[in-house]
Structure formats: C-alpha cells, structure tokens
C-alpha cells in the first residue's frame, strides 16, 4: 500500500545541487533529504513519528528512530545510531 506524502514538493532541492556528505550543506540539510534527493517524510509530532517507526518495525523489520529535524522543524525517521 502506497503512503501519501505530506507537504508536496515544497523545499525540494534543485537538480545538480548535490547531496550526501560531500555537498557542503552541513548536517541540517543532510538529515532532511534521502540519498536519492527526495525529502524525507515529515511528521508533525514526535508521537506520530514513533507510531510510524513502530509500524515499519512490524511490517518491514526496519529499526528506525524518530528525530527532530533542524532543517524543517518536523520529525523524521532515520536508522538507529550507536
């Protein structure tokens, strides 16, 4: 089942603007974007992000953490850091 994206294409990076750790954009910009250049899914609250993380764990066995994004102010999911 496909999940609807929140917020449309607002804030999308222009093509060729780089990405990943070598873009010089700093950590805040990197935490907001996926490796393929698309923005990560934005959750309005920590609770909503935690619920989505639990759903991904049950469905896909993906162990994700919710974190506050310093770029957009919303909440995103990312891989657990040790």
Q: Tell me the pLDDT band of 3, cut-offs 50, 70 and 90.
A: low
E-state strands within 1-82: 64-68, 75-79
Reported as a single tens digit per residue, the pLDDT across 11-54 is 444 344 444 444 445 566 677 788 888 888 999 999 999 999 99
- Average pLDDT estimate for 56-81: 89
Q: How far apart are CA 34 and CA 61, in angstroms?
A: 19
Model's pTM, two decimal places? 0.60
- CA-closest candidate to residue 13, choices 27, 23, 3: 23
């Amino acid at each position: 089942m496909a999940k609807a994206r929140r917020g449309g294409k607002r804030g999308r990076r222009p093509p060729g603007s780089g990405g990943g750790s070598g873009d010089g954009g700093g950590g805040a910009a990197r935490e907001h974007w996926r490796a393929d250049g698309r923005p990560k899914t934005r959750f309005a609250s920590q609770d909503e992000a935690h619920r989505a993380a639990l759903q991904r764990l049950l469905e896909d066995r993906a162990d994700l953490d919710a974190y506050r994004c310093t770029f957009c102010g919303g909440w995103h999911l990312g891989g657990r850091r040790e």
